[in-house]
Amino acid sequence: MSDDDQIQRVERLLAVTQQLTHIGSWQWDLATNVVTWSDELFRIYGYEPRSREITFEFFLSCLVPDDRARVQGEVGAALERGEPFAYVERVVRPDGSVRVLDTVGEPTRDAAGHVTGLIGTCRDVTEERRRDEQIQLYGDIVRNMQIGIAVWEVGAPDDMKSIRLVAYNPAAERVSRRSLEGTIGKSLFEVLPYSEGGFLPGLIAEVARDGVVREGALDRGRNPEQPDRTLAVKSFPLPGGRVGIAVEDTTEKTKMVRLQAAEHRMLERLAAGAPLPEALGTLVSAVEEHLGGCRGAILQLDPEGRYVHYVAAPNVPPAFVTGIEGQPVGPTSGSSGTAMHRRAPVYTIDTETDPGWGDYRELARKNAIRACWSTPILATDGRVLGALAIYHPSARAPSPGDIAAMDRATRLAGLAIERRQLEDQLRELSAHVESIREDERATIAREIHDDLGQALTALKLDIAWLSRRLAGASSRDDVTMPEKLRAMSDMTDEVIERVRRISSELRPGVLDDLGLLAALEWQGQEFEQRTEVTCAIRSNVGDEQLGPALSTGIFRIFQEALTNVARHARAHHVDVTLERGAGELLLVVRDDGVGIAPEATRSLRSLGLLGMRERARRLGGAAVVQAAQGGGTVVEVRVPLAQATS
């Protein structure tokens, strides 16, 4: 092989090497300012090999503008020092794409040792850089993410002891609330001793076995050091038979969900008509659980806005409640009394030192209360309705989270109290209207009965007298006269009867004279005559007086029940029982008709049913209307006797 062949072979070899490694080479001759690029370098710059002349200025023009001054400086320094150099530059290809090049080089010298130019190589590191950046980004994500990540190696899925820690991120330490330093390579039970017997080892082993993602919630209680925490855990397969665990601290979220659920329950209870203390008690318990380690109470202010009254204090010591109950509000009335007085929250951090607690310090001390936070409950029109109070056994200030939870509960309590007040007002109003109506009916009934009835009776007597006289006179002239008079007398009887009926329908006198049972019986007979539906009444109630409000209320409910049977039931028979039981009166009206549709019992348009329920409620009891088992409809009314007779 000739020397030329040899050189050609070496050059080819070099070109191939450059192409494979994406390394281009160059040489710059200072004397001629000619730069020689290898074929691969042309390609790296985005040009056909040897497609143009290269000068130093052209080289500079290829750089990203931001890099030009710096690279020029590097080159100048290299020439000046005459030493090897290295820098990174970014070049823009003709198609606009940017490549990152890693350049190393050194000066060339003549025989006398003077620098004649530079020689060097450029490696296209664009892809490498991109990969590095990606790795860096993933690293940043894993390090900074707020979800704990731990990677485990599972030696044998059937052997939980073979699960070993491979890697973890800082959030894993925060979530597990322990330092994981030095735990890489340790077994799961060494790293998290309390996980033994829990679901975590199984979760990891199962994912290692079948590669399917699994989820779980590490609920309170597993880790004795942190009893109140909830963690959400996700287990996922990783390449190489490893298993990743992502853990999120859901304590706050879970607590919030629980609080919301409890608030929801309270609103539902309230809407269902539960007593205010019960509904607010649910709310107080929920706030206690949310805040932890405290006791809560809701106090109401009397209508004059002067004295406090505990509505719900399920866990506050009774002695404390008794001590505060009925106390006046004012500028130094503990926390709640002061909060209501000022219409602003009062957070007493220490009752021992707080000037507002002077009068109640001893009471607080005796009942192990040291801190008390109170927020006033305001109505939508700004009236003070009451206060929410949170008592702590040790001195402490509320956290922003505590304050937020209290504010929520306070607003909700305000809605509940105000709504109930409005309901009570409406109920009182309707009771008032109803009693006026009942009085009016009674008056009209009496007037019709007495005035009209008496006048008609007098008329009838006159007719009788006239007819006797006429018979005596035995008038031959007018034979039609006696007949006429008989007709007048019959007509008068009928009018008297009609007047009686109208008067009874308005307000049956029997109700006032003979009592409820007699009135029901009378109404039942009327009903039978009108409808041909038979009506049987059983009762253990004698003719004792049950009080006008109770009698009238039950009677009106009974009337509506019978009217409904006549109008809707298509029944043949109605069974009625009126029973006096332990402290309560029970009325049951059961028909054997088509049965009431469930929608009708719930519908807000069923005004007749609403009226029955409302009357029962006004008497302190309840009315239930529903389809009876075995067909038909049953109306059941229970009212307490003690309250009703008053």
Residue 488's φ and ψ, nearest 5 degrees, are -60, -40
Residue number, 345 or 593, with CB nearest to ligand ATP: 593
> 508 is in the binding site of which of ligand ATP, Mg ion, none (Cβ under 5 to 8 A by kind)?
none
Residues 6+ away with beta carbon under 8 Å from 356: 331, 332, 333, 334, 335, 338, 346, 348
Residue number, 408 or 613, with CB nearest to Mg ion: 613
Size of the site for ligand ATP (CB under 6 A): 15
The answer to whether residue 633 forms part of the interface with ligand ATP (CB under 6 A) is: yes
The answer to whether residue 607 forms part of the interface with ligand ATP (CB under 6 A) is: yes
How many of the other CB atoms lie within 10 Å of CB of 520? 27
Burial class (CB in 10 A: 0-12, 13-18, 19+), 575: middle
> 119 is in the binding site of which of Mg ion, ligand ATP, none (Cβ under 5 to 8 A by kind)?
none
The answer to whether residue 623 forms part of the interface with ligand ATP (CB under 6 A) is: no
Residue number, 519 or 557, with CB nearest to ligand ATP: 557
The rounded distance, in Å, linking the Cα atoms of 565 and 94 is: 94
Alpha-carbon distances of 170 from 145, 149, 178, rounded to whole Å: 9, 8, 10
The answer to whether residue 594 forms part of the interface with ligand ATP (CB under 6 A) is: yes
Residue number, 36 or 601, with CB nearest to ligand ATP: 601
DSSP 233: E
Long-range contacts at 267-273 (CB < 8 A, ≥ 24 apart) = 267/412, 267/416, 270/416, 270/419, 270/420, 273/617
Q: Which stretch binds ligand ATP (CB under 6 A): 201-209, 392-400, 532-540, 594-602?
A: 594-602
Residue number, 119 or 600, with CB nearest to ligand ATP: 600
Residue number, 251 or 606, with CB nearest to Mg ion: 606
**Residue-wise over 92-105: b if at least 16 C-beta within 10 A, else e?**
beeeeeebbbbbeb
The answer to whether residue 155 forms part of the interface with Mg ion (CB under 5 A) is: no
Burial class (CB in 10 A: 0-12, 13-18, 19+), 606: middle
The answer to whether residue 46 forms part of the interface with Mg ion (CB under 5 A) is: no
Q: How far is the CB of 559 from Mg ion (least distance, A)?
A: 10
Residues 532-591 binding ligand ATP (CB under 6 A) are 564-565, 567-569, 591
The closest of 71, 38, 70 to 56, measured between CA atoms, is: 71
Residues 6+ away with beta carbon under 8 Å from 320: 363, 364, 366, 367, 369, 391
> 589 is in the binding site of which of Mg ion, ligand ATP, none (Cβ under 5 to 8 A by kind)?
none
CB contact at 8 A, 406 and 287: yes
Q: Which stretch binds Mg ion (CB under 5 A): 209-217, 280-288, 470-478, 602-610?
A: 602-610
Residue number, 18 or 633, with CB nearest to ligand ATP: 633
Residue number, 135 or 607, with CB nearest to ligand ATP: 607
The answer to whether residue 608 forms part of the interface with Mg ion (CB under 5 A) is: yes
Cross-strand bridge partners of residue 637: 587, 623
The rounded distance, in Å, linking the Cα atoms of 44 and 48 is: 10
> 351 is in the binding site of which of ligand ATP, Mg ion, none (Cβ under 5 to 8 A by kind)?
none
Residues near Mg ion (CB under 5 A) are 564, 608
Residues near ligand ATP (CB under 6 A) are 564-565, 567-569, 591, 593-594, 596, 600, 606-609, 633
